[in-house]
Amino acid sequence: MAVLELLLRAPCKMNENKPDGSQTLACVFCRKNDDCPNKYGEKKTNEKWNLTVHYYCLLMSSGIWQRGKEEEGVYGFLIEDIRKEVNRASKLKCCVCKKTGASIGCVAPRCKRSYHFPCGLQRECIFQFTGNFASFCWNHRPVQIVTPNNYRDSLPCTICLEFIEPIPTYSILRSPCCKNAWFHRDCLQVQAINAGVFFFRCTICNNSDIFQKEMLRMGIHIPEKDASWELEENAYQELLQHYERCDVRRCRCKEGRDYNAPNSKWEIKRCQCCGSSGTHLACSSLRSWEQNWECLECRGILYNSGSFQKAKKHTLPSTNNVGINDCLLEESSPKLPRQSPGAQGRDLLRQGSKFRRDISTIIIELGFQIIKKSKRLYINKADIWNSALDGFRNQKFNPSYTIEVAYVNENDNFGREHPGSKHEFLSLLMQHLENSALFEGSLSKNLSLNSQALKENLYYEAGKMLAISLVHGGPSPGFFSKTLFNCLVYGPENTEPILDDVSDFDVAQIIIRINTATNVADLNSVMNEYYNYFELIGCLRLITSLSDKYILAKDILVYHVIKRVQAPFESFKQGLKTLGVLEKIETYPEAFYGIFCHKPENLSAKILSDLFTVHTLPDAQALGFWNSYVQAVEDGKTATTMEDILIFATGCNSIPPAGFKPTPSIECLHVDFPVGNKCNNCLALPITNTYKEFQEKMDFSIRNTLRLEKEESSHIEH
């Protein structure tokens, strides 16, 4: 997907290898000098005749034909013919941009519209790269006729897997051979260019004849060439090597991701589907090497291509109390109607859309509860969780008091304490909470069932910590699953979990087997094999028809994700009521969804530069070096990252929803190395003679400071 986005979104470039400045020459038809092969075809210049054209502009022009051989003129179009066509077009005005030179006309009878090729793309005209190379304006273009069907709200594009509305439009196309296969036009075009006529086919059934004929009719250009991957030198060299790297988000191996120790828990297990991702056995809780494992990407594809479908990503939770039919099953149950959110959920949705507000404003308002009276917390960074618990459970602690942090070290015999950063403390606490045993899952997490934590009331404390962190200016959580968030907002009774919420591999396999059962005998076989489990969770039922599998799968999901953790959920919810945070979440779910279920946006040079203000009389050269350094960090030309700089100066690796207080600032001082004052969010820059010296000092200080802090915090393994 990343490669696809780069192909589609990359800026147009000029021809860098053309001599005599031809990269700046404009196409004689559209008069654009852009070099965008994916959009306009290859840009070619005939130096002898000083003539430049885009391949598609030339190919689609209405009054010209290829009369020469491929090596003659430009792509076989004779120079004299091109000049005649340019002269003809100079008398025609483009109906889009109103400029002359519109060489392409709609072939519909009595339609007088003419346009440039880029203008036609802009207005969603269709150009057929076959036969007579006809073009159609936006009013007369061919359309796909689709018989009415009860499609779900959205289906995945089978190339990029992003969800789209299954309605045929200019930008959304359907496969002619597979009724449930839908595509983005841009995805199809990029795939066609890369695959060529020999490999471009339906991604579901591999049909090429019917598929290519329909795509050509709908304006997809399929070049007559071999696939790009077949033309690469040593393209398959990596297949001769075994993949040995742990790719899970949290690798637990102290020796690193590339460490592989056969016959131990640190042996690398490769994905059974693609073989190009791996995990240490211990990092994915695999009990033996024989146990199957799929990477996240393949697991998602398996669910989508079989009986399962991932939940739609990056959407607000408003109407997303999605039923099991929407999330798991390819076909609808004949006995189970589509589930809709409860009345409470609908009311909250209407309320949320009516009173949409910015999250930073809401949290700032919550911060008005904080009073000037302060409470000092003594925090051991090497044991952040227990020292935070001690502080928050102290009888004299009040969530409304201003928090002051003092760092202590239990190994310090003198009992010294050092001023600490509140932002850093809350950031470290949220990181620990995300990776604690109170939650389960890889990226999007749900509450776990930990009897000891429940006994010690840790779920309540976790909710309380999260609420305090938000109100006191800490970072956003960003790791909640949509299901957990919907349970908080709409209630567990109005929330239906999905398969992605199940982190227990064995339970997920049971659900998969149930939903892939093709007859009653298969379903009864699963019931008999896991009889004790079904009896334990109260999901035993008499199987009379194949459609019973839908109800059974739903019962297991509801039990495992919601009912099983009912006690931890209620305790966590009570803690989240601290300082009125839960009430605000229920009132403004759309605002809170983004910070609870998604990580903050990546930092950029502009964001970081805008964040810091100049605190004292600046040194112009040092500030110039600073701006150059930030840009170099963004371009990957330094040993540090944007997050490293922010941590060095503030203790946070992201900008809190309510912003920093005090505002991060910059000072230019005659110091040997940069200094980060996390208590005041201040960064002192060294004044140097050269930029090279400035960069070396910044890299050295930031990298080594963060390394030492990490080593100090790792003395106690959480």
pLDDT in tens, 138-182: 999 999 887 665 555 688 888 888 888 888 899 999 998 887 788
Residue 137's SS3 state is coil
Written as six digits, the tokens of 530 are: 């896991």
Is a pLDDT exceeding 60 seen at residue 313? no
| Separation CA 681–CA 660 (nearest Å) | 8
CATH code that applies to domain 605-715? 3.30.2410.10
Mean pLDDT score, 347-371 = 67
Written as six digits, the tokens of 237 are: 């060299």
CATH code that applies to domain 24-136? 3.30.40.10
At 18, the pLDDT band (50, 70, 90 cuts) reads very low
Chain centre to alpha carbon of residue 91: 49
Residue 667's SS3 state is strand
| Separation CA 334–CA 357 (nearest Å) | 41
> How many CB atoms are located within 10 Å of the residue 690 CB?
10
Residue 100's SS3 state is strand
**Among positive and negative, which fits the CA dihedral 477, 480, 482, 487?**
negative
Average pLDDT, the chain: 82
DSSP 457: T
Written as six digits, the tokens of 439 are: 């939650």
Is a pLDDT exceeding 60 seen at residue 330? no
pLDDT of 21: 46
pLDDT of 240: 53
| Separation CA 330–CA 307 (nearest Å) | 5
pLDDT in tens, 64-82: 888 888 778 888 889 989 9
Residues recorded for the chain: 718
Worst-scoring range by mean pLDDT, 159-163, 425-429, 496-500, 552-556? 159-163
pLDDT of 357: 63
Is a pLDDT exceeding 90 seen at residue 47? no
Using alpha carbons, select from 403, 217, 510, 446 the residue that is nearest to residue 311. 446
pLDDT of 618: 64
Mean pLDDT score, 438-448 = 91
Q: Are 497 and 557 in contact (CB under 8 A)?
A: yes
**Among positive and negative, which fits the CA dihedral 69, 71, 75, 79?**
negative
Chain centre to alpha carbon of residue 578: 31
Q: What is the enclosing helix (H) or strand (E) of 192? A: helix 185-199
pLDDT of 445: 93
pLDDT of 155: 84
**Domain spans in the chain, listed from the N-terminal domain onward:** 24-136, 155-230, 359-497+567-597, 605-715
Architecture, CATH, for domain 359-497+567-597:
Alpha-Beta Complex (3.90)
Is a pLDDT exceeding 50 seen at residue 549? yes
Residue 290's SS3 state is coil
Q: What is the pTM of this model?
A: 0.52
pLDDT of 114: 94
**Among positive and negative, which fits the CA dihedral 76, 80, 83, 85?**
negative
At 110, the pLDDT band (50, 70, 90 cuts) reads confident
Is a pLDDT exceeding 70 seen at residue 304? no
Worst-scoring range by mean pLDDT, 103-112, 664-673, 706-715? 706-715
pLDDT of 508: 92
Using alpha carbons, select from 498, 491, 505, 481 the residue that is nearest to residue 557. 498
> What angle is formed at CA 192 by the lines to CA 191 and CA 193, rounded to 5 degrees?
90
